[in-house]
Amino acid sequence: MKKLSIRDLDLKNKRVLLRVDFNVPFNDDGTIRDDARIRAALPTIQYILDQGAKLTLMSHLGKSEGSMEPCKKRLYELLARDDVTVLENLRHNKAEKDPDSNPEFAKELATHGDVFVNDAFGAAHRNHSSIVTICQYFPGKCAAGFLMEKEVDALSPLVENPTRPFSAIIGGAKIDSKFNVLQALQQKVDHLFIGGGMVFTIMKAMGNSIGNSIYDPAHLEVVSEFIDEAKNLVLPEDIVIAEQFSDGAETHIVGYEEGVPDGWQGMDIGPKTLEKWRPLLHESKTIFWNGPMGVFEFPNFAKGTEGLAKMLAEMNSLRIVGGGDSGAAISLLNLNNKFTHVSTGGGASLEFLEKGSLPGINALTNKF
């Protein structure tokens, strides 16, 4: 990485301001559902404390509400000490997301440290006060933490010179938020596999019937042009359809060409799809996967996502999972150690692949 590393800073007796991504999921009763993001920052936190520095942490949590208290408590348990300052949820202040609305906010945050370390890879694609604006107040002293370095080191081979064949598998529902990535990836990969809800915008654009499946009318035209040009798309072979959007709904499997009948909706990729995809994935030397293949929150429609996770877990190639729901599915199946890297950032890893860097990385001090 061509940016200053936390190892390059003399931290003894310094006040370190560390940006982390503690945006963890919660259960309905307010307890933390998965503390993986807190654990992922521990090597950096421990290193800073071991260097004899005074540490202040900051993170956002959820959209805007929510207190950092449960995360702070969990952190103190994991560290078995409680002398780390944790600032309140950054998004309590509107200027976190909109730095121009109050440039003083970043300046105030900067008063908490002599040096700044960013370990929040999962938020590094955001042009926010605590990610980008803050760096101007630490000239020559903005470093990447260990998690940030690990993520960049793991994802860079995909951007710079991937070993081919290179395949990307993209799922999830929102074609609007992933269309730019699809376009960028399509230029870079040998095979672009598509699953999840975004399949139905493509299916409709190809003139196939999609019943009540979700699709994005605003993207039909661009998707239509995209599929005309993209010769390396690999689409599902079959689709699991349901009569209603519920786990207990009656299901059938239809062929992709056959389409989804009226009154039904596509919920998952079918079993023939994975069988068709297997050889191409098997011969791939580099694989990137982001996004579920179906409505995996319902066990009945999680088979495509789980089947893909298990299939990839058995392969030997460089396999990287771009966080988010696909990362969660892998954790749930306890398959993390079967992959080369499971990123902590969904949106961040996609944008890194698309653009080759992220605003929060660019803002760090260059290393000469």
| CB nearer to ligand AMP: pick between 122 and 266 | 266
CA distance 23 to 79: 18
204 with 220: CB under 8 angstroms? yes
Residue with tokens 């493509």, as numbered in its chain: 202
Among 47-55, 59-67, 291-299, 356-364, the segment contacting ligand AMP (CB under 6 A): 291-299
Residue 174 annotated as catalytic: yes
Smallest separation (angstroms) from ligand AMP to the CB of 188: 20
CA distance 368 to 268: 49
Residue 272 annotated as catalytic: no
Smallest separation (angstroms) from ligand AMP to the CB of 111: 36
Please give the residues from 232 up to 271 whose contact with ligand AMP meets the rule CB under 6 A.
266-267
**By CB under 6 A, is residue 99 in contact with ligand AMP?**
no
Among 85-93, 230-238, 289-297, 328-336, the segment contacting ligand AMP (CB under 6 A): 289-297
**By CB under 6 A, is residue 297 in contact with ligand AMP?**
yes
Contacts of 52 (CB under 8 A, 6+ apart): 11, 12, 13
In the complex, residue closest to ligand AMP by CB: 172
| CB nearer to ligand AMP: pick between 118 and 265 | 265
The residue from 14, 19, 37, 126 that is catalytic is: 37
| CB nearer to ligand AMP: pick between 211 and 324 | 324
**By CB under 6 A, is residue 295 in contact with ligand AMP?**
yes
Give CA torsion, residues 195, 199, 200, 204, to 10 deg. Answer: -150
First to last CA, the chain: 11
CA nearest to 349, candidates 62, 34, 41, 125: 125
* Size of site (CB under 6 A) for ligand AMP: 16
Among 103-111, 295-303, 310-318, 331-339, the segment contacting ligand AMP (CB under 6 A): 295-303
Please give the residues from 63 up to 92 whose contact with ligand AMP meets the rule CB under 6 A.
none
Phi, psi for 119 (deg, rounded to 5): -120, 10
CA distance 363 to 220: 36
Give start and end residues of each alpha helix (H) in the chain. 36-40, 42-50, 69-79, 104-110, 146-160, 175-188, 199-205, 220-229, 271-282, 303-313, 324-332, 346-355, 359-362
Q: Which of 324, 327, 345, 360 binds ligand AMP (CB under 6 A)?
A: 324
Residues in contact with ligand AMP, shown as a per-residue x/- string from 164 to 183 under the rule CB under 6 A: --------xxx---------
Residue with tokens 């999609």, as numbered in its chain: 210
Please give the residues from 181 up to 220 whose contact with ligand AMP meets the rule CB under 6 A.
196-197, 214
Residue 37 annotated as catalytic: yes
CA nearest to 121, candidates 362, 356, 349, 327: 349
Q: Which of 66, 70, 294, 322 binds ligand AMP (CB under 6 A)?
A: 294
The residue from 39, 74, 107, 174 that is catalytic is: 174
Residue 259 annotated as catalytic: no
Q: Is 320 helix (H, G, I), strand (E, B) or coil?
A: strand
Q: Is 3 helix (H, G, I), strand (E, B) or coil?
A: strand
Q: Which residues bind ligand AMP (CB under 6 A)?
A: 172-174, 196-197, 214, 266-267, 291-292, 294-297, 324-325
